Chain A
Amino acid sequence: MNRLLLNKIVITLSTLAALMGISFLLWILVTLSIRGYHSIDWHIFTTDLVNNGLRNVIIGQFILAGIATVIGVPVGMMAGIYLREYGINSKFAMIVRNLSDVMMSAPSIVIGIFVYGIFVVPFGGFNGWAGVIALAILMIPIVVSTTDSMLSLVPQELREAGIALGASKAQVIYKIVLSAAKIGLITGVLLAFARVIGETAPLLFTSANNNFFSFGLSNQYPSLTVSIYHLALFPSQTSQNLAWAGSAILTLLVLFINLITRFIFKPRKQK
């Protein structure tokens, strides 16, 4: 075949593929906007699921993901610090690094039923804490990996300079290394939060769902994503509209966080 023709064909096909990818994104976003526009009103934000509102489940989702972040980030960050600052290339550090990497891609439903096994069965029923733990477990490997790679970008001279001034290793890490890597770490935490706040599968059998407003994490706990799942499959127009409203809110939130991190991180990159 003619070389130039083949070249043109491949270029055209690749461009079409890119167009196709973008049109899927647009298609989903447009669908969400239209359906969301028609189903979101103030009523949704002021009433709970039991009255066809989403107030309790949105707040519930934030609380679940928020507490998961409060647990997952320190653990993940400290583990990441160990890998980069103490263990570095020791066998133990390499094993943890690799296995954490693998855990990052583990199916989230498996994490969900693992937590069911240790936090639901022994305590006799679905509870908010189990949901929190499941999300935290999902989050830890993500935070480990970003911490590890962000700290690796901090120049070694900075650490040496700190040690040379007589700071202890912990002080060097705490005061110098972490603040040098601050922006990257914040970005990582935000992205990890965005990832877990959109999770459904790990919550299905841990915190499950609740129609009412609740701060009691020892009972079934309201969740936006689990609500969307149940509402969407329920054969009633009201439920499905509510599911679309929830989907639009969730997507807006997740994309918003993603775009924010892009702007936080950008000036740093240009330097």
Chain B
Amino acid sequence: MKLAIQTKDFSFTYPKTKEATLKGINIPIYANKVTALIGPSGCGKSTLLRSCNRIHDVYPGNSYDGEILLYDNNGEKAENILQYKKENDLINLRQRIGMIFQKPTPFPMSIKDNITYGLKLSGIKNKTELLDRTEIALKGAALWEEVKDRLNNSAMGLSGGQQQRLCIARAVALKPQVLLFDEPTSALDPISTASIEALISELKNELTVLIVTHNMQQASRISDYTGFMYLGDLVEYDVTETIFLNPKEKKTEDYITGRFG
């Protein structure tokens, strides 16, 4: 199996805190699979996710330790993304690793401009190419039929579920290798949630998914691998079925059966 990302003894400390939020994490993220991170709030799962595209660097003063290796498409050559210093490297990294947030984050512009925003940033200027890729991205996010007649309307007018699919389409349009999902359905109703989950399962044909979720049913439904985190440690990592049906650690079992968290 090909690797997409692998962390090696990865630690992370927020500014002005003494204790590390993540302590020596080793986790493989396999290409074209869905990996879920679960655990009680404050366990560091979002911090880990947000390290993978260095979005933490938007705020100064964090410190990283260890390695996060990002593999190329063949799963052979890897680069340690923690060594990136230049803004340009971070920009390229973020175009290779997309991110979807808890709440839908449509930009204050039209639906079309939302999709083409990242494409234009990456230097694509040709109008027909922009339009084509908009259509492909929206179709990929199962949103095309709903919005094709109002591409120039403001994205703020869409429903919450549509907005979240727009954000996925926006990220997918850049053809990233990996998509990070940070509790993407926590602000959505059950129907929208189902459509996002279906979308995630489909996306793994083209890319790798790493998802943080507080919803264990969701993790068991859509993921291939699951990591259980607790107090900044990766307690257990395995094939999703094993984690949910036959966990090796007592803590994992307690959490999954709802005894704490």
Contacts and interface: CB of A to CB of B under 8 A. Distances in A.
A7 interface: yes
Interface in B64-99: 87-88, 91
Contacts of A4: 87-88, 91
A4 B91 CA distance: 10
Interface in B95-132: 121
Nearest to A8: B87
A138 to B, nearest CB: 38
B19 to A, nearest CB: 22
A17 B100 CA distance: 35
Interface residues of B, number: 4
Contacts of A7: 87
Interface string A1-32: 00110010000000000000000000000000
A156 to B, nearest CB: 27
Contacts of B91: 3-4
Nearest to B121: A3
Contacts of A3: 91, 121
B185 to A, nearest CB: 33
Contacts, number: 6
B203 to A, nearest CB: 28
A117 to B, nearest CB: 48
Nearest to A7: B87
Interface string B120-150: 0100000000000000000000000000000
Dominant secondary structure of chain A at its interface with chain B: helix
Contacts of B88: 4
A7 B86 CA distance: 13
Contacts of B121: 3
B159 to A, nearest CB: 30
B60 to A, nearest CB: 13
Interface string B199-239: 00000000000000000000000000000000000000000
A3 B118 CA distance: 13
Contacts of B87: 4, 7
Nearest to B122: A3
A7 B87 CA distance: 10
Interface in A138-181: none
A4 B92 CA distance: 12
A3 B121 CA distance: 9
A210 B171 CA distance: 72
Nearest to A11: B87
A3 B122 CA distance: 10
A67 B88 CA distance: 62
A44 B87 CA distance: 58
A132 B88 CA distance: 62
Interface string B173-200: 0000000000000000000000000000
A7 B121 CA distance: 13
A73 B121 CA distance: 55
A7 B88 CA distance: 11
A7 B90 CA distance: 14
A4 B87 CA distance: 8
Interface string A216-233: 000000000000000000
B250 to A, nearest CB: 40
A4 B89 CA distance: 11
Nearest to B88: A4
Nearest to A2: B88
A5 to B, nearest CB: 11
Nearest to B86: A4
A196 to B, nearest CB: 40
A7 B91 CA distance: 12
B65 to A, nearest CB: 28
6 contacts: A3-B91, A3-B121, A4-B87, A4-B88, A4-B91, A7-B87
Interface of B: 87-88, 91, 121
Enumerate the 6 nearest inter-chain pairs by beta-carbon distance, A residue then B residue, closest first: A4-B88, A4-B87, A7-B87, A3-B121, A4-B91, A3-B91
